[in-house]
Amino acid sequence: MITLENVTKIYEDNGAVALRDVSLKIGKGEFVFVVGSSGSGKSTFIKMLLKEVDPTSGMLIIDGMDITTLKRKEIPYLRRKVGVVFQDFRLLPSKTVYENVAFAMQIVEASPKMIRRTVPQVLSLVGLGKKGKAYPNQLSGGEQQRVALARAIVNKPPILLADEPTGNLDPDTAWEIMELLENINANGTTVVMATHAKDIVDRMKKRVVTMDKGIVLRDVMEGGYDDEA
DSSP code of 137?
G
The pLDDT assigned to 228 comes to 57
Domains contained in the chain, CATH given: 2-220 (3.40.50.300)
**Average pLDDT of each block of 10 consecutive residues along the chain (229 residues)?**
95 90 96 92 91 93 89 83 90 97 92 97 95 96 95 94 91 93 94 94 96 94 79
Longest dimension (CA), the chain: 51
The pLDDT assigned to 73 comes to 86
CB atoms within 10 A of CB 109: 8
Give the Cα separation of 223 and 35 in Å (integer): 11
Q: Are 154 and 84 in contact (CB under 8 A)?
A: no
Amino acid at 186: A
Is the pTM of the predicted complex or chain greater than 0.85? yes
Using alpha carbons, list the distances in angstroms from residue 111 to 45, 107, 171: 33, 11, 39
Q: Are 6 and 21 in contact (CB under 8 A)?
A: yes
Contacts of 138 (CB under 8 A, 6+ apart): none
